[in-house]
Structure 1
Amino acid sequence: MFLGTYNPKLDEKGRIILPAKFRDELEAGIVMTRGQEHCVYVFSSREFENVHDKIRQAPVTSKQARDYLRVFLSGASAETPDKQHRVTIPPTLRSYASLDRDLTVIGAGSRAEIWDTAAWESYLAEQEAVFANTAEEVIPGLF
């Protein structure tokens, strides 16, 4: 499970060092793809297979499912961390998420997300107030 917030730097070759707490789960390989809100989703290879199995169940007759599948999978890139636990973020994903040198990597349960730090701080500032003031059940059975 991916938890926490980390602030690695993007190097001149487009690589980041994976947070130490994420390495065991990601050492066998990862899949990065476009995430919602213009971040990069990072899945372990195993978890991405589970996600793909669910996507394959979507009806081909649904235009919304086809559109989502195309955007999600066309941006996907399988990567393997090197011995220094660095992984390259493909240029198309760096561009999509407007990633510069300062990054924020967050744990989001079954995946990690890579954000431009300024974009993350803006998103978090906006969402923290919504989170604190939530008065109804958002996730069934949680609260």
Structure 2
Amino acid sequence: MFFFGTFRHSLDDKSRCTLPNCFRDDLGKVVYATKGLDNCLNIYPEETFKVLCEKNAKLNELDSAQRRYQRMFFQTSFKYEVDKSGRITLSKNHLQIAGINKDIVIVGNNDHIEIWDKDIFEKIDALQNEEFESNAQLIAQTYKE
């Protein structure tokens, strides 16, 4: 399964996030969220999250960088149930971790989706647009190998 596309929404007064219709079937009724890179939340379907947990469980706890990454991954992870209306209620902790206020952007990114605060996403997106061609050239070299 692949998630793609960009969707703009707002949280309601109860911090509920409506998941885009096109993602709901593949996400399922239970999703897992964890701190993502660049200040967003990563939302995973249950099976994908289980694979990530298994990989993270194999990290070397004697290596400080791996130990800290593993700890951050597990301490910021949370299980959410998707309600009948396709919403999840984001925890205060997750809102704080990602700096999310009311307006959000939901982005499909391969095997997961990302939830961003609108203002943070717009800054990251502007940078991504500036770097797109140079990054594409670097990646093209990887494809050739």
Task: Please give the TM-score of this superposition, normalised by the length of structure 2.
Answer: 0.92
Q: Counterpart of 2:103?
A: 102
> Do 1:27 and 1:80's aligned partners in 2 also have CA atoms closer than 8 Å?
no
Quote the Cα distance in structure 2 between the aligned partners of 1:38 and 1:23. 23
Q: Does 1:130 align with 2:131?
A: yes
CA contact (8 A) 1:104 1:120 kept: yes
Offset of 1:6 from its aligned partner? 0.5
Q: Structure 1 regions of 5+ residues with no counterpart?
A: none
3-state DSSP of counterpart to 1:137:
helix
TM-align CA RMSD: 1.6
- 3-state DSSP of counterpart to 1:25: helix
Aligned equivalents of 2:94, 2:37: Cα separation in 1: 12
Partner of 2:49: 48
Distance 1:2 1:25 in 2: 9
2:142 match = 140
CA distance in 2 between counterparts of 1:38 and 1:137 reads 23
In structure 1, distance between residues paired with 2:64 and 2:101 = 34
Q: Could you tell me which amino acid in structure 1 is paired with residue 96 of structure 2?
A: S
What is the 5 A alignment of 1:42-81? 42-81=43-82
**Alignment-mate amino acid for residue 67 of structure 1:** R
The SS at the match of 1:68 is helix
Q: Distance in 2 between matches of 1:50 and 1:4?
A: 24
1:137 Cα deviation from its structure 2 partner: 2.9
- Among the aligned pairs, what percent are the same residue? 26
TM-score normalised over the length of structure 1 = 0.93
Q: Return the structure number with greater helix share.
A: 2
Give the 3 Å change call, closer, same or farther, for CA 137–104 of structure 1 in structure 2: same
- Name the counterpart of 2:7: 6
Shift of 1:139: 7.6
For 1:81-134, what per-residue CA distance to the aligned partner results, in whole angstroms no more than 9, with x for missing partners? 011111011110101111111100000101100001111111010121111223
* Secondary structure, aligned partner of 1:124: helix
